[in-house]
Homo-oligomer: A and B are copies of this chain.
Amino acid sequence: MHETKRLAGLIQERIDDAVLAHREALGPLGPDIAPLLDEAMGFLSGGKRFRAQFALLGYRAVRPLDVDGPVDAEFGAALDAACALELFHAAALIHDDVIDRSNTRRGRPATHRGFAAMHRDEGWRGSAEHFGVSGAILLGDLLQSWSDELMQRACEALPDAARAGRTRAHFNRMRSEVAVGQYLDVLEEQRTEFAGHEEQLERSTRVLVYKSAKYSVEAPLLIGSALAGAAPEQEEALASFGLPIGVAFQLRDDLLGVFGDEELTGKPSGDDLVEGKRTVLVTLSREELPANQRRIFDDLLGTDLDADQVAMLQLTIRTSGAVEQVEEIISRNVERATEALRGAPVRQDAATSLLRLAERATQRAF
């Protein structure tokens, strides 16, 4: 716990420093850019930092890190990589919220909503909504390139070009896969009909794996471990642990997207139902419903639901037995991950912390 706090503090400090340095460099562009930088700062002060934590533990699985010691070049590189992931994630979320038309994020208005509100407050001309979208697109782009810069700095600090090359390879693959996975997710929501059960489950699982499981857990672990100079068998062990934890992480997210408490998640309860996300949870529920109920379910999903309709869909999913099924898949994946770590060629203290973080990531209520 103490270690986690110290690392969280170092990460926040480093993110703030990066934004401040950019703010200074962009000074010649004048004071009108302040809202853009303020939003960056505000957005980046929140979040669960799972990706940063997994990256640091990936590093520590391979190479010791004295968390209480001074931040030397190696420690700094690990922190930079962790921060790069958080900035990339912020960029992705800001764009995601435009795509999903989300209103809130991290308990604040979503970035595009914030810019739209500014437009209205200032009484500007044209569409406040469109200005909001424009601001969010540009801030996402900006943060994506700042993320890159931090990853460059991490790689440049390494004494060994092979470590840098391997780190970049994992980072690059992650970025491509998450953008394309997100595209597949959006595509699913557009289809007029669900596919047959087996095919739909395959599609929903593919989105889950690429958009989230690899992105949230496996890739950060591999990036951190590559930065530390992992041997192939170490990468393999971490991937065998990371992928199932990532799957469990996203299945928990699916449950929270339907049943989560707004106070804790910072998102309205039942948000995924309004958005019409064809998650594994939804797919499993549908399979259990009798045909007439399933038709009603399909007609409601992805529409502008009121509170009663949300409650009804929640009840339908709950009584279908799909929640238990998903909980069971979560448990099975956590077990498989735990098994993969047993006797794996990674540092023991990191393995212990990984199991703890995995539990937090897969059992969270927010």
Contacts and interface: CB of A to CB of B under 8 A. Distances in A.
A276 to B, nearest CB: 8
Contact of A29 (B25, B101, B124, B210): B210
Contacts of A302: 125-126
A134 B99 contact: yes
B146 A176 contact: yes
A145 B133 contact: no
Contact of A190 (B126, B139, B146): B126
A99 B30 CA distance: 22
Interface stretch (A177-185, A263-271, A282-290, A322-330): A177-185
Contact of A32 (B33, B140, B187): B187
Interface in A120-147: 122-126, 130-131, 133-135, 137-142, 144-146
A131 B26 CA distance: 33
Q: How large is the interface on A (under 10, 10 to 19, 20 to 34, 35 or more residues)?
A: 35 or more
A135 B139 CA distance: 18
A151 B182 CA distance: 24
B29 A180 contact: yes
A135 B183 contact: yes
Contact of A152 (B98, B168, B179): B168
A317 to B, nearest CB: 21
Nearest to A192: B125
17 contacts: A29-B181, A29-B184, A29-B210, A32-B184, A33-B184, A36-B183, A95-B138, A98-B134, A99-B138, A101-B130, A131-B190, A138-B182, A140-B141, A142-B176, A145-B175, A149-B172, A156-B161
Given A99-B133, A122-B190, 14 more contacts: A26-B176, A29-B210, A33-B184, A36-B183, A95-B141, A99-B134, A123-B192, A126-B302, A131-B190, A137-B137, A138-B183, A140-B141, A141-B141, A144-B144
